[in-house]
Amino acid sequence: MPTPMDVVCAVHSTFRYINEITLKDQNSKQVKQPRRRIAWQPPENGFLKINFDGSFAKEGRTGACGFLIRDHSGEPVLAGAANISPAMDALAAESAACLFALEAAERVGISRVTLETDCSQLCEAITTDVRDLAPCGMIFRTIS
């Protein structure tokens, strides 16, 4: 059984590889824009923070997701990654990543969490009822 740090390293390596491929594709099409760095903010005392991300490939309708749960000092507590197939779109992949992370946390008894994502559409979907009738509406309600 891999340790949490083994999983964290594997997830980090996979995301770095995907990012390098994406940057190569972007660089061939346009001038690279500098990325704004945002420092990780710890969760409130007594909570753990779940960072998650999903990816989607139109070709083949497949995707992947990963998550990392950290404590207030930034130490990893739990991590995971999975393939998503089929995946309808990028929002569905992000939703699946969030649900995957929450279910994994629940399985090991983690209940006091905050979520962090870079997907503004998912934030809107789980905090309002605007997207309840969307194809992933049931997932949004399950998450919130």
Q: What is the pLDDT of residues 63-122, one digit of tens each?
A: 899 999 999 999 999 999 998 888 788 888 888 898 899 999 999 999 899 888 888 887
pLDDT tens sequence across 8-62:
666 666 666 666 666 555 555 555 556 666 677 899 989 999 999 998 887 877 8
Strand segments, DSSP code E, in the chain are 48-57, 62-70, 76-84, 113-116
Q: Tell me the residue range of the domain where 77 lies.
A: 4-20+37-143
Task: Residue 120: give its domain's CATH number.
Answer: 3.30.420.10
Tell me if the pTM is above 0.75.
Answer: no
C-beta neighbour count of 63 within 10 angstroms: 23
Q: Is residue 32 part of a domain?
A: no
Domain count, the chain: 1
Residue 41: how many other CB atoms lie within 10 Å: 8
> β-strands 76-84, 113-116: how paired?
unpaired
CA-CA distance, 91 to 137, in Å (whole number)? Answer: 11
Instruction: Please tell me the distance from the alpha carbon of residue 113 to that of residue 20, in angstroms, as a whole number.
Output: 30
